[in-house]
Structure 1
Amino acid sequence: MTTHTELPSMRESLLDVAGKKIFVAETGDGPPVLLLHGGGPGASGVSNYSRNIGELAKRYRVIVPDLPGYGRSTKGIDLADPFGSLAAGIRGLLDELDLDKAHLVGNSYGGACALRLALDTPDRVDRMVLMGPGGIGTTRALPTPGLTSLLNYYTGDGPSRPKLEKFIRQYLVFNAADVPDDVIDARYRDSLDPEVLANPPLRRPKSLRALWKMDFTRDPRLSRLPVPTLVLWGAEDKVNRPSGGRMLADRLPNCDLYTVANTGHWVQFERADLFNRLCADFLAGRR
């Protein structure tokens, strides 16, 4: 059973990072934890973690940015190296917040951002929790139906509410009834931001070189990454294949893997009580 908690009061700011703006909401006290959201249409930090922020803020300083290209942050990322571009933005955000090191929690696109940041600068990451992260074995098989639906949202006949509802109810979650209509309404409204329409942040790679950069299982640094990592993967994930969890566990030297039954791509939303408990305990060193 999922606990629906109200969001606590949050401090909001728009920080300048290398000439671009990153929107941040934060609350709580304690070790800093950045929550990095997924890359679906209309995604943003606070909306993606609405069922987790309050609980985690009881023990941690919870920092929730809108990733570059999303929400109230500056639109546009480097499509030649999307994960590197996201990681550079969040690393710059750590600098602006005067944080030498922080825990990273990332879902899907945000998980890929966290993992790339850790590979490039492992000294900036304390512990990581990754939920169905992108970039795991992506060059070893054709895209999943869920990822195809996601990548096609802004193409063809363009965005529509039925198109978004199908992606969310059919591919993003295991139990379609768990997603309220108002969540879909808000995501659809945000997906129509004119700046996003002009420059969607999640698109098919334009070159084979960019595609290979987006597959972490081909990065030799993965087997040397010292950051303690907890991987949570929904057993019924239709966006990123659950087999990616085993790939990470086999390659990362300090990785715990938890496969979540009857759960899709949105573990932190669908199984919030379980996620909040596992995440808080892991980040505190209780494994």
Structure 2
Amino acid sequence: MPPNRVLYIAGLFMASSVPALAATYGPELQGFQYPYPLAHFSFESQGKTLQMGYMDVPASGKPNGRSVVLMHGKNFCAATWEGSIKALSDAGYRVIAPDQIGFCTSSKPEHYQYSFQQLALNTHQLLEKLGIPKATLLGHSTGGMLATRYALMYPAQTEQLALVNPIGLEDWKALGVPYLSVDQWYRRELKVSAESIRQYQLNTYYVGRWKPEYERWVDMYAGLSNGPGHKRVAWNSALIYDMIYSQPVYYEFKDVQVPTLLLIGTADNTAINKAMAPPEVKAKLGNYAVLGKQVAKLIPHATLVEFPGLGHAPQMEEPARFHQALLQGLNAL
């Protein structure tokens, strides 16, 4: 083989063995492409001018006159609802997908008193600005806790509630999960990497099954966490983790009066700070095959749809199957 051919092959081998440089994004996810046009809602909150990024997608199918508000999870963004936005829009819904304050394309204030009530109020103000008096709320993961709080605060403005593998189906602190201070969470969040995100999601969200399309969302989260605003991102993330741990909605499921659809991947095992729990506690946490059934009995007007063997994000694992169940469920409520 000619020497130059050997050098060429060696060069290809070296290039393929060196990982590509990870993308980084601005503190409000600048540089990451959203699937639909992104708008911003500016408002005053706690003495600050803040902005929420959001997508407002009209019905692409025959309009049914109904609106759906999508509430993302802790390690997700409005963009991760991409498949659900299309499915709902095709079915005739107007779809509003905001990024909550502290997340993704929205403001990350240096000082903010995070509560699910505050985030619900922010979202309610956005819907008022958009002229939406009543909507169906679809919340995933932490977004399920927020959607529940919204339905409790604004029952007259909530047409239906749909919860996709919501966290908060149990009270972790009451079960013995150790408390982490905001400073401890902050130090942990500063160490976030693409590899740690991928490994956590593989084990916790996807039941050990990885698909290439998940990589985009790892890139999104890691690029935000390691970008030029990484300290502010990590600090807000720490404040949000404290909110999630400290503000359970579990005890108020009995007070939810709107029709509710529970969509549960039964192989999910997500629980806040589960890794720090004693072994005997850890073994009992995040058992969604049990938790879904328990909470369906607590909510007065609940319908449970289970996806056996799926994990924390069934809308991403098996989108066609999930969206068929979602649309049928919303029509039946």
The two structures have a TM-score, normalised by structure 1, of 0.82
Q: Relative to structure 1, is the Cα distance of residues 273 and 14 closer, same or farther in structure 2, using a 3 angstrom cutoff?
A: same
Q: Aligned residue for 1:70? A: 103
Structure number with bigger Rg = 2
Q: Equivalent residue for 1:281?
A: 328
CA contact (8 A) 2:186 2:238 kept: no
Tell me what 1:196 maps to. 233
- Partners of 1:156 and 1:22 lie apart in 2 by 22
CA-CA distance at 1:183 after TM superposition:
3.1
1:226 equivalent in structure 2: 257
Q: Distance in 1 between matches of 2:233 and 2:139?
A: 22
- The match for 1:256 is 303
Compare 48-57 and 74-83 and name the one that shifted more: 74-83
Instruction: Supply the distance in 1 between the matched residues of 2:110 and 2:314 (Cα, whole angstroms).
Output: 26
Equivalent residue runs for 1:45-194 within 5 Å: 45-46=78-79, 48-58=80-90, 59-76=92-109, 82-138=115-171, 139-143=173-177, 155=188, 158-180=191-213, 181-193=215-227, 194=229
Structure 1 alignment gaps of length 5 or more: 1-6, 145-150
Deviations, residues 253-285 of structure 1 (Å, cap 9, x unaligned):
10011221111111211121122112222223x
Letter in 2 for 1:84: Q
**CA positional deviation for 1:252:** 0.8
The secondary structure found in structure 2 opposite 1:103 is strand
| Deviation of the 1:154 alpha carbon | 5.4
Deviation (angstroms), 1:156:
7.4
Output the CA distance in 1 between the equivalents of 2:190 and 2:302.
42
State the AA in 1 paired with 2:317. E
Per-residue CA shift, 1:221-263, capped at 9, x if unaligned? x323221110111111121421331232111110011221111
CA deviation profile, 1:110-144 (whole Å, cap 9, x unmatched): 11110000011111110111011122212442459
| Matched-pair contact (CA < 8 Å) for 1:164–1:188 | yes
> After TM superposition, where is structure 1 displaced by more than 4 Å over at least 4 residues in a row?
76-81, 151-154, 201-204
Contact 2:139 2:146 in 1 (8 A): yes
1:196-233 residue CA offsets vs partner (Å, 9 max, x unmatched): 13422565438xxx855x222223xx323221110111
* Corresponding residue of 1:147: none
Contact in 2 for aligned 1:69/1:201 (Cα 8 Å): no
- 1:197 partner letter: A
What TM-score do the two structures reach when normalised by structure 2?
A: 0.71
How far off is 1:12 after superposition? 2.5
Percent identical: 23
Match of 2:57 among 27, 38, 41: 27
Measured after TM superposition, the shift of residue 157 of structure 1 is 6.5
SS for the counterpart of 1:115 is: helix
Query: Contact between 1:68 and 1:77, CA under 8 Å: does it hold in 2?
Result: no
| Higher alpha-carbon deviation: 120-129 or 79-88 | 79-88
Identify, as 1 or 2, the structure richer in helix: 2
Could you tell me how far 1:187 is from its partner in structure 2?
A: 2.3
Unpaired runs of 5+ in structure 2?
1-32, 179-183, 272-285
> Paired residue for 2:18?
none
Change in CA separation of 1:80 and 1:8 when aligned onto 2, cut-off 3 Å: closer
1:190: how far off? Answer: 2.0
